[in-house]
Amino acid sequence: MKFTSTIPLILFLFGTSLLLFSCKKEENNAIITVNSSEKIESDSSKIFKEPFRPQFHFSPEKKWMNDPNGMVYYKGIYHLFYQYYPNDIIWGPMHWGHATSTDLIHWKHKKIALFPDKLGLIFSGSAVIDQNNSSKLGTKENPPMVAIFTYHNMEGEKAGKTNFQTQGLAYSLDEGDTWLKYEGNPIIGNSDLKDFRDPKVFWNTATNLWNLVLVAGDRAQFYTSKNLINWTLQSEFGKINGDHGGVWECPDIFKLKVANSNEEKWVLLVSINPGAPNGGSGTQYFIGDFDGKTFRTVQKETKWIDYGTDNYAGVTYNDAPNNRRLFIGWMSNWQYARNTPTKNWRSAMTLPRELSLEKLNNNYILKSTPVEELNKQFTTELSKDLLSLNANHTITINYDNLNQSDIKFKAYSKNLKLIFSNEAKDSLVIDYDAKQKTFSIDRRHSGIVNFEANFGKKIHKTSTSNIVSKTISYHMILDWSSIEIFLNDGIYTFTEQIFPKKAYNKLSIQSNENQEIKNIEISKIKGIWQN
């Protein structure tokens, strides 16, 4: 005899929204239906409502975007510059696009900041505020915003030269609205290196000098300057360190305090393409010490800031308030970036994340978590203290807005499988294997995957040996074309693009062991492009 019980409808009031969900049990399979106060639907007739357009991640108004550049905070404004090609949705001659925000979540599109010139295309770099006017390009009363970037000379490359990349400087005296190129460019020349690019500049308070790190072939180079114009090479790092399966790119270096201690360490980020743990592009990091001239580390193994396939070329903000170390990456992968199934625009940035450093089992771990400012976009639509999951049974949550949601819960460190699906028979599978201590993401059937062979080719699997707790906190954020996953407050992070044919509206939770889903909370995330 089949047993079916229906739990009475439960009414919740959150803020001003009246929310309703029902729970039904059939032979130990629980079904929860969440009726949102507002169904989020795509309307391709409206700007920023095209299919797959991220609703709370930064994306350009139109055309192509890649690496974040020139990230600096000044007078209450976060500036985000980025690699931009204004004439097509595939990569082309690089400019610097520009956007600003007061909260890292809502962005205002600005006019193009930097255009190619006779010295070359404008590749990646960084920006600083020259507060003391050491460059003499502004005044102490009106300090210049200074951008240092890579010139890429296409004619030189086509001619077979190796020194076609140099470093240039531009400055703004109106807080980034208009820019002047330095008349003495390039400020750092190149004798014979094919890959010589992506300078990150910052003021070193310990040495009272400007520091610059860039990548030079298969290593990083460190420079110092008194005035942002004249630079001295001090040291190199990396020929025998880290992974070298591809080109080194987009370095960054900064100091962080180790949690629950008085210890401070330096973190060096280096992106690499190809060579990431799950294929294509990724960002490795090194923990060590830096005296303003030389970076040293005893780290042997390679560590990655993100184990998904779509977080590349990420760097951090200069001068962020309250000493926060804020990170944004390009949410794509060079294996398939030019072919993703979007129209009018292509690419988005990851959510801004705050980085922190923790020592776990005598091992330094760089953690990343979504910035707290995102929480203001949430409306909680399901909140439950406990869902009991019997072995080989399923908890199903029906919810129309899964592709614009924040999902949090804790579970025992046991096997757990999560399946996001829709009526189009798309499925995105998240799987934790407790015995093998591996976490996997299977997007092979997640929606449109056939635009490039590498996108849906394999399951992405990661060893999670640093998970040693009895319970695991899961935090998943889904947008119209992405999922970002943070395990145990960012000890492991996974960023993946997805292109479901219809929005996911069902989440199935399964295990072959008895499990408990504790403190589950599902929130709708308000779009940033809405008025």
**Residue 288 has which token pair?**
């060590």
Burial of 240 (0-12, 13-18, 19+ CB in 10 A): exposed
Catalytic annotation present for 289: no
* Cα distance between residue 290 and residue 265, in whole Å: 8
DSSP letters for 417-431:
EEEEE-TT--EEEEE
Q: What is the pLDDT of residue 4?
A: 32
Tell me how far apart the alpha carbons of residues 519 and 472 are, in angstroms, rounded to a whole number. 12
Q: pLDDT tens across 48-67, in order?
A: 999 999 999 999 999 999 99
Q: What are phi and psi of 430, to 5 degrees?
A: -110, 130
Q: Where are the beta strands (DSSP E) in 291-404?
A: 295-296, 303-304, 312-316, 326-330, 345-346, 353-360, 363-370, 378-389, 393-399
Coil, strand, or helix at residue 321?
A: helix
Handedness of CA 78, 81, 82, 84 (dihedral sign): positive
CA distance 453 to 203: 44
Distance between CA atoms of 126 and 69, rounded to whole angstroms? Answer: 5
Task: Kindly tell me the sign of the dihedral angle through the C-alpha atoms of 283, 287, 293, 294.
Answer: negative
Q: How much is the pLDDT for 53?
A: 97
Query: What CA–CA distance (Å, rounded) separates 371 from 84?
Result: 25
Place of tokens 């998943």: 476
Contact 23, 30 (CB under 8 A): yes
Strand partners, 233: 223
Dig out the tokens for 527 from the structure: 């779009």
Q: Which pLDDT score is estimated for 224? A: 98
Please provide the DSSP assignment of 68-86 as one string: EEEEEEETTEEEEEEEEET
Q: b/e map of 224-233 (b: 16 or more CB within 10 Å)? A: bbeebbebee
Catalytic residue (choose from 43, 67, 88, 174): 67
Looking at residue 37, what is its pLDDT?
A: 61
| 162, two tokens | 């190796």
Q: Using the 8-state DSSP alphabet, how is residue 502 labeled? A: S
Kindly state the tokens that stand for 390.
């019997």
Among 197, 125, 211, CA closest to 164? 197
pLDDT attached to residue 29? 85
CB atoms within 10 A of CB 266: 18
The type of residue at 78 is Y
pLDDT value at position 44?
39
CB 24 within 8 A of CB 30: yes
The domains located in the chain, with CATH, are 63-370 (2.115.10.20), 378-525 (2.60.120.560)
Q: 91: exposed, middle or buried (C-beta count within 10 Å: 0-12, 13-18, 19+)?
A: middle
The one-digit pLDDT tens for each residue of the chain (531 residues) are 332 333 333 333 223 333 445 566 655 688 999 987 665 554 434 679 999 999 999 999 999 999 999 999 999 999 999 999 999 999 999 999 999 999 999 999 999 999 999 999 999 999 999 999 999 999 999 999 999 999 999 999 999 999 999 999 999 999 999 999 999 999 999 989 999 999 999 999 999 999 999 999 999 999 999 999 999 999 999 999 999 999 999 999 999 999 999 999 999 999 999 999 999 999 999 999 999 999 999 999 999 999 999 999 999 999 999 999 999 999 999 999 999 999 999 999 999 999 999 999 899 999 999 999 999 999 999 999 999 999 999 999 999 999 999 999 999 999 999 999 999 999 999 999 999 999 999 999 999 999 999 999 999 999 999 999 999 999 999 999 999 999 999 999 999 999 999 999 999 999 999 999 999 999 999 999 864
pLDDT, residue 529, reads 87
